[in-house]
């Protein structure tokens, strides 16, 4: 096997800001890897973990789902920035990112296999923690490839593709979880799919090796202190983190209990098929809005207005689901949520890459940003589970989901307003 092809840059230092546009083939390979990675995540999150929780603990399915996803998210909170920081300092001949893409993918696939044979809640937790640890390593390396190789003028487009592939991954993962017979079979198909989708990127990643001479000496204490990025010294990075954190909480609240929402509040006949239909609608809308918003943002040279309006649009979807708990309203809500989240995914990541504090720590700093993606997966179940359980016991499931979605709308509005505090990006 030959080393991955090298990228042409204006200087030998791989920390240099890229100015040469990446080819379409590289964007396609990155996108395919993202589809596989997200399918491995969201097939379980959208359907399989819920079904497994209901099968193992039918009287406490919500609590089991909250426990499993919460512990897994705690693992991802640590795994992503750690993998990113180590990849920044990797001097392999294959590059900085590729070893972590390979290792993370194999560990994530192994976790899916463990989930396939899990016959107890502890084994579910072990499998999901492996998935979260592994695929977060993959994510850290893949996202760092964007500021490594993609010039700023092209990042809106590439970020839109990343947002699109996340949604395609959700569709593929949900489709596998819904259409493949049996929970065990679905997990095994996802494990194979993750590896197959990431392989083309690994073979032609365009990843640059890091010369050892560019790697500064660093003690353990200095390495650990690097994970603290001072809000006072880097306020725009801090506001970008806070915005991502709030927007992800809002989105997690809206999507995490979708299967149970359709079962207990909307009362559709086939909630699993309902999740697939809503996901497809959401995906089609998101893909279109992500690509268009990314291109439009590149052409205008602005990011903040897109992110602000996306938060408001997502909040409108949450309000609709709160007050009109019917199947037609769920269909409309999926379209509105897809529109808003597509714009958000496309432009917010491009904005974040422009406020990273230091080029030599891109993956680590993106890993810190990704804590804002992972931590809400811990907090959302902790918030949603007790609300739904209390209202189900004292009032109705419908009242619980109304409260939950109104809370998501308020958080989404807060995220939209905070983005205005960033000063270095228009």
According to the model, what pLDDT value does residue 409 have? 93
Instruction: For 201-263, give the DSSP string.
Output: HHHT--PPP--GGGS----HHHHHHTT---TTT-HHHHHHHHHHHHHHHHHHHHHHTHHHHII
Report the CATH number that the domain containing residue 88 is assigned in CATH. Answer: 1.20.1250.20
233 inside domain: yes
pLDDT at 349 over 90: no
165 inside domain: yes
According to the model, what pLDDT value does residue 178 have? 84
According to the model, what pLDDT value does residue 214 have? 55
10 inside domain: no
Q: pTM (2 decimals)?
A: 0.72
**Residue with more model confidence, 395 or 310:** 310
According to the model, what pLDDT value does residue 163 have? 75
What is the residue range of 28's domain? 24-208+227-421
Please answer whether residues 275 and 258 qualify as being in contact, where contact means their C-beta atoms are separated by less than 8 angstroms: yes
Residue entry with tokens 């990042």: 155
222 inside domain: no
Q: Which of 280, 174, 409 is nearest to 401 (CA)?
A: 409
Mean pLDDT of 342-360: 80
According to the model, what pLDDT value does residue 111 have? 96
16 inside domain: no
Per-residue pLDDT band at 10 (split at 50, 70, 90): very low
Query: How far is it, in rounded angstroms, from Cα 140 to Cα 142?
Result: 6
According to the model, what pLDDT value does residue 226 have? 60
Q: Which of 384, 378, 375, 372 is nearest to 408 (CA)?
A: 384
According to the model, what pLDDT value does residue 11 have? 36
pLDDT one-digit tens code per residue, 65-115: 888 988 887 888 888 888 888 887 777 778 888 999 999 999 999 999 999
pLDDT one-digit tens code per residue, 167-195: 788 889 988 988 888 899 999 999 999 99
Mean pLDDT of 113-119: 95
pLDDT one-digit tens code per residue, 222-278: 555 666 677 788 888 889 888 888 988 888 887 777 888 888 888 888 888 888 888
401 inside domain: yes
Tally of domains within the chain: 1
pLDDT one-digit tens code per residue, 333-345: 999 988 998 888 7
Mean pLDDT of 276-295: 84
19 inside domain: no
119 inside domain: yes
């Amino acid at each position: 096997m030959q080393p991955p092809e090298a990228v042409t840059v204006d200087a030998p230092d791989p920390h240099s800001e890229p100015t040469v546009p990446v080819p379409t083939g590289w964007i396609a390979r990155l996108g395919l890897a993202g589809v596989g990675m997200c399918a491995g995540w969201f097939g379980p999150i959208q359907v399989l973990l819920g079904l497994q929780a209901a099968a193992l603990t039918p009287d406490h399915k919500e609590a089991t789902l909250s426990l499993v996803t919460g512990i897994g998210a705690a693992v991802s909170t640590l795994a992503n920035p750690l993998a990113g920081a180590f990849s920044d300092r990797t001097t392999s001949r294959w590059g900085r990112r590729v070893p972590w893409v390979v290792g993370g993918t194999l560990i994530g696939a192994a976790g899916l296999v463990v989930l396939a044979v899990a016959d107890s809640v502890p084994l579910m937790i072990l499998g999901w923690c492996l998935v979260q640890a592994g695929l977060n390593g993959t994510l850290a390396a893949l996202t760092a490839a964007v500021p490594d190789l993609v010039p700023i003028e092209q990042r809106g487009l590439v970020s839109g593709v990343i947002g699109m592939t996340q949604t395609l991954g959700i569709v593929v993962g949900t489709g596998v979880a819904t259409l493949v017979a049996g929970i065990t079979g679905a997990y095994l198909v996802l494990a194979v799919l993750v590896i197959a989708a990431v392989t083309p990127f690994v073979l032609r990643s365009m990843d640059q090796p890091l010369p050892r001479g560019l790697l500064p000496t660093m003690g353990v204490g200095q390495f650990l202190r690097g994970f603290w990025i001072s809000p006072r010294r880097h306020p725009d990075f801090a506001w970008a983190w806070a915005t991502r954190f709030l927007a992800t909480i809002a989105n997690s609240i809206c999507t995490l209990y979708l299967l149970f929402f359709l079962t207990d509040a909307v009362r559709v006949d086939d909630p699993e098929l309902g999740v697939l239909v809503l996901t497809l609608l959401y995906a089609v809308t998101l893909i279109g809005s992500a690509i268009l918003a990314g291109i439009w943002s590149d052409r205008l040279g602005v990011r903040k207005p897109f992110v602000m309006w996306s938060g408001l649009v997502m909040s409108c979807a949450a309000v609709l689901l709160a007050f009109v708990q019917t199947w037609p309203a769920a269909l409309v809500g999926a379209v509105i949520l897809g529109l808003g989240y597509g714009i958000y995914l496309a432009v917010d990541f491009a904005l974040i890459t422009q406020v990273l504090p230091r080029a030599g720590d891109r993956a680590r700093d993106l890993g810190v940003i990704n804590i804002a993606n992972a931590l809400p997966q811990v907090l959302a179940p902790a918030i949603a589970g007790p609300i739904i359980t209390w209202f189900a016991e004292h009032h109705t499931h419908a009242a619980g989901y109304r409260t939950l979605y109104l809370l998501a709308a308020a958080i989404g509005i807060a995220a939209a307003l905070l983005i205005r505090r960033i000063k270095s990006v228009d």
